[in-house]
Structure 1
């Protein structure tokens, strides 16, 4: 647990305020948020306290009134604000002067000019947050101009047809890709020419799953084609993952399962690309009306969901820690508000510092190891409107911060995103590890599908943007893969003017072109068919139907079992279970689901430290009930034997041990309770804690059987120097 140099950038947070000792989380880096006049001073402050400093700013919205009102270049730019069909501006949050923007060339230049001072101030990286264009937008004058320039024809209102909506959405994704390319390339060149210093760019973005569900268009995988972008932050938290979906006919929040899919989507987005991915966690969420109990329960769900994806080991541990550790939220009895409970604060700090140690090469999956991929493409965002049905009234600002009254039956069905969840939840709920796989990457990276033997695909809610995707998929099947195709060709978006129906060979749906590439008849019957060394299983049903009942969910599960059996690969096994469990080095991560094969708890035996409890207790029997999660440290893990920090709610620096003593510095937010569990060869003879040269009191608890020492203390400014004088050494 002794933290190395901050250059590793394993953990970080974003904060719009200057340095504050009460939310000084002691991560590796901080993202100073916003490009106003105070930016250089805020950067200086955080640097002074030892942080690697990045800049973060919104790329689709922000406090950009100088640009909108003409102060920047003498011209008003309100014509570039995103608009609904009604002519109303699409506003971020509740500030009437902060609209979502159409990313024109002029707007890109404004952002370049405003961000350049951050390069001058010496930031190590820049994060351009949330490139978002709402599905309901596309009616501003700037967008009409961009349409004409891009398509070389007069603008067509997006609501007029599926084709107009699809083309409008493709243009929206292109515009933000262009904007980010211009921004990152120009500022990288500026940094090298002016300072001979490379600078990195990252895009904090929601998952493709959430953007599609919330009906937002964003570049997502297209940013992999922009060489000046170094990676992403996966902005996944309770606010996205608690969005309700339908399983076996019941609409409900399923925070763990949804987060598991969302984090999986982002892991697969960058898998094998060399691009950096940080996973975001949020100890609260944007909705300020919930209680601390609600925040904590859902935080544990998203946390464990993220840790079950071991190919990512970098984390944004909190956005806006000031609102976490200084904010007030409703009491359980709704009688007033209260600050963060002391125990939750301690647990949060413990988890945040544990995350910095998650780069563990030794990973073991318990239970089902067979991964099933469900293909998802950027184009899923392009067809989230049904022409002829007015949805603007109920979807004005569904961004996690506004309560939206969903009374229209069609509106509710659209937000459920059942076409995707119908293909995934029936498998996840029975313990099968499902990974959403980025379809667009199949043509970008040779061998992208090699980790998979079974994939599920439907074109009833998305489309393949390029025909050569089918050549790659067909070859993968012939080489021994198994593809389950789900769809009945009823989606009206099959008729958009795209490659499958515009050439000499016209296909009513892209599914027919895929089947032709596979050597199958376009009018194939349902069922299992061998193709080369592999198999294709065709379910002629709309995927959203698979979410409607227990019987339809079982239909998908039966198809998966049948396809696994046909592959006849020994390691492909699926034993239905109600939990996921994994070890990453000494860390045990588990989540038990309800609505599953049974309601029995997951029972574990061993010698563990419970990292989700404030006093880091040692537990030997753990029963994880359905709906709950655990994060444990295995004290019997052989690679971690000997002395050292087991867990701490502080940043541990300058750890030195010799035959007579252990000494280290513990740092964290002031006035918050901290704990540290430490391995010692025997009960210490004496423990000394100093802050600013003054000895301070502490509480200790010695566990003879595990030879671990629990220290409890309060963080102080500048950190606490802890010295443990060893006693006699036991053999």
Structure 2
């Protein structure tokens, strides 16, 4: 558990000044926002040992001086994103903070602001949430950008599928252009003026969530920008609890949605060498849920993230000030708002510090087949408006915090995103590990698909932007891959102006071109051989696979037939009602609801429950459907030669030293919170004490003879070095 902060394995973002009550003792902190107090906030956090980054919004902010013309003498309110009624699209509830069209002028203004952060000496800068709302695209600035980009007069995005698709492509391009200019210019500035290699990251929601919430963002386009060093996967309860439909039932499925969201974000950087941090939030933006609800959904999202082992860096919390100082409804106090329950606070700290140890060499998914991929492209964001609507119908903006914002049945249908979930949930709910696969990367990386033998594809909710995708897919199939295509060719966006319907040869849709390349132009529903591989075709809409049990069964059946035809022993249909993974000494498990069984999953011990604030040792743990576990295998993790080693702690552990009479270590953490640590210990202790400010006090401890571990209970004290001393008999 002892590590160097320069590894930047864990961090958090905070807009407030340093305060001991939310001093989480991660490796780095992202000081949020550029204002007059920014240099002082940076200084405070650095003095308390943190590597300091800066985070600021790229799509919105306190930019009234720019909007009102105080920067360059010209009003820039025409650059606010607006809907078809001319209403500005606002961030939050403040009318003078709109989402912006990222014009070159606006980008230059942001550069002047970010230069202040570079001068303040931060190590890295995070430009978060480049977001353009689907119901935007009507402002004067956007109309000008349309003319410059397409060389033709602007067309209202709601008028036709082609207009909407082209508007969304332009939105993604504009933020790609803005980020490229910002990051390149600021890197040059830092290197020229300070001789410093500045890093840039983009915190962004997942492609699944942006598509679901009807937001356009660059997503995978940023891979092509050498000035971008990586991402933060902004996934949390607020995104993952968005209801979806499975077998005709619409409800929250936080674990399953989070599993898919983290999956596409892991895929975003696979093979690129770029950094990805997975985010967790102990609460969420909606302040009306109870502490119990926040805790249950936090556990679901953390567990889902840990089932993607290629990522081992984490943002452990956005806004810890609101977590550790805020008040939210209590189940035990009639719904009155209270501060965080002490047990939940301890659990959070246990998990946050354990997350710094997730880079494990031994990783295995237990009792399962290999991953099955579901292809997903950035273009899914481009077709998220029902076009041709009458002038009185305006599809609403939805940011996950207000269910009443769903204005119509059409809005709800779009929010469900059933064409995608209709492919994913029937497999996921039967314990088949599925991962969204970034179709756009097929063109970027020559052997991107080599790690997959089975892929699901539909063009009913996205479109292939280049014919090269098909040439790569055909080669992959003929070399032994299995492609399952689901679709009925009814999506109105098949008619957008694109490579498959322009030129001498015209196709009604992109699927026809793909099937012609596969030699299956006349194929109907069924399973076919193609070279060494297999192509299966389910000629029905993928959202029908979400709408009923029969639809889900039809998808599962054609996948089963495909696997049988493929004949690969690593790809067999092995249904189960849980996921379980080992990462070194850590065990991660989730038992599914709506699955093939309601039986509990039993995990043998001795294990330590890392979600338990008492870090209890269990001889076995039984998980019911809907429950998750994050466990430490005591025997698997035991060090050799009876060494002292930390298993888990709700503190940052540093300077662990051992002598013939015992051991000592330094602890750091948020002031006033109860802390706990469990360590391997070769001998039964006879005394434990805390030393701080030249004084000592006894520390309560429990010895477990069977596992030869000691549990220590103590308190955090800020502003001074605090050490724990444990002695055993000589």
Q: TM-score range by the shorter chain?
A: over 0.9
What secondary structure sits across from 1:675 in the alignment?
strand
After TM superposition, give the deviation of residue 391 of structure 1 in Å: 10
- Within the alignment, does 1:726 sit opposite 2:708 as a pair? no
1:613-656 CA-to-partner distances (Å, cap 9, x unmatched) read 11100001110010110011000105645420010000001111
Q: Using a 3 Å threshold, how does the CA distance of structure 1 residues 396 and 93 change in structure 2: closer, same or farther? A: farther
Give the structure 2 partner of residue 647 of structure 1.
648
| Contact kept in structure 2, 1:380 and 1:463, CA below 8 Å | yes
Cα shift readout 1:252-299 (whole Å, capped 9, x = no counterpart): 000000000000010011111111100000000000011100000000
DSSP 3-state at the match of 1:688: strand
Deviations 1:390-418 (CA, angstroms, capped at 9, x unpaired): 69977543112334243632221111000
What secondary structure does 2:357 align onto? coil
Note the 1:237-276 alignment, pairs <5 A: 237-276=236-275
658-667 vs 19-28, which moves further:
658-667
Give the match for residue 516 of structure 2. Answer: 516
In 1, are the aligned partners of 2:396 and 2:407 still within 8 Å (CA)?
no
Distance, in Å, in 1 between the alignment partners of 2:394 and 2:406 is: 7
**Counterpart check, 1:418 vs 2:424:** no
Q: Shift of the alpha carbon at 1:505?
A: 1.1
Distance in 1 separating the partners of 2:487 and 2:574: 27
In 2, distance between residues paired with 1:393 and 1:425? 31
Q: 1:395 to 1:410 in 2, by over 3 A?
A: closer
Q: Greater shift after overlay, 419-428 or 633-642? A: 633-642
- Give distance in 2, aligned partners of 1:51 and 1:149: 45
- Count of aligned positions: 726
SS at match of 1:630: strand
Match runs of 1:68-79 below 5 Å: 68-79=67-78
Q: 2:346 corresponds to which residue?
A: 346
The answer as to 2:728 corresponding to 1:710 is no
- The correspondence of residues 40-189 of structure 1 with structure 2, limited to 5 A, is 40-189=39-188
TM alignment of 1:290-305, pairs within 5 A: 290-305=289-304
Shift of 1:727: 2.5
CA distance in 1, matches of 2:698, 2:70: 57
> Could you say which residue in structure 2 is the equivalent of 1:529?
528
Match of 1:696 in 2: 697
Conserved in 1, the CA contact under 8 Å of 2:264 and 2:438?
Answer: yes
Aligned to 1:376: 376
> Which runs of 5 or more structure 1 residues have no equivalent in the other structure?
none
Answer yes or no: is the 8 Å Cα contact 2:648–2:679 preserved in 1.
yes
SS of equivalent residue, structure 2 residue 158: helix
Superposed displacement of residue 470, structure 1: 0.5
Question: Which TM-score applies when normalising by structure 2?
Answer: 0.98
Equivalent residue, structure 2, for 1:7? 6
Q: Distance in 2 between matches of 1:678 and 1:604?
A: 22
**After superposition, what is the alpha-carbon deviation per residue over 1:2-48, rounded to whole angstroms, capped at 9, x for unaligned?**
2x111100000000001010000000000000011111111111111
Structure 2 unaligned residues grouped into runs of 5+: none
Q: Aligned partners of 1:219 and 1:602: how far apart in 2?
A: 41
* Aligned-CA RMSD value: 1.3
Contact 1:80 1:101 in 2 (8 A): yes
Q: 1:208 to 1:661 in 2, by over 3 A?
A: same
Please give the alpha-carbon distance, in whole angstroms, between the structure 2 residues aligned to 1:702 and 1:725.
12
Is the contact between residue 292 and residue 330 of structure 2 (CA under 8 Å) also seen in structure 1? no
User: 395-404 or 481-490, which moves further after superposition?
Assistant: 395-404
Query: Residue 574 of structure 1: CA displacement?
Result: 2.5
Aligned residues of 2:66 and 2:76 also touching (Cα < 8 A): yes
Secondary structure of 2:284 counterpart: coil
Q: Secondary structure at the match of 2:256?
A: helix
Contact 1:246 1:418 in 2 (8 A): yes
Residue 458 of structure 1 is matched in structure 2 by 458
The equivalent of 2:433 in structure 1 is: 433
Deviations for 1:299-338, whole angstroms, at most 9, x for unmatched residues? 0000000000000000000000000000001122544210
Q: 1:390 to 1:620 in 2, by over 3 A?
A: farther
The verdict on how the C-alpha distance between 1:226 and 1:390 changes in structure 2, with shifts beyond 3 A counting, is: farther
Paired position in structure 2 for 1:588: 587
Question: What SS is found at the alignment partner of 2:54?
Answer: strand
Q: Aligned equivalents of 1:452 and 1:659: distance in 2?
A: 53
Which residue of 2 is the match for residue 472 of structure 1? 472
User: What residue number does 1:362 align with?
Assistant: 362
Deviates more, 1:652-661 or 1:581-590: 652-661
**Alpha-carbon distance in 2 for matches of 1:347, 1:331:** 17
The 8 Å contact of residues 638 and 680 in structure 2, kept in 1 or not, is answered as no
Query: Alpha carbons of 1:116 and 1:452: their partners in 2 closer, same or farther (altered >3 Å)?
Result: same
Structure-2 residue corresponding to 1:603: 602
Cross-structure match for 2:506: 506
- So what's the TM-score if we normalise by structure 1? 0.98
Distance 2:496 2:663 in 1: 69
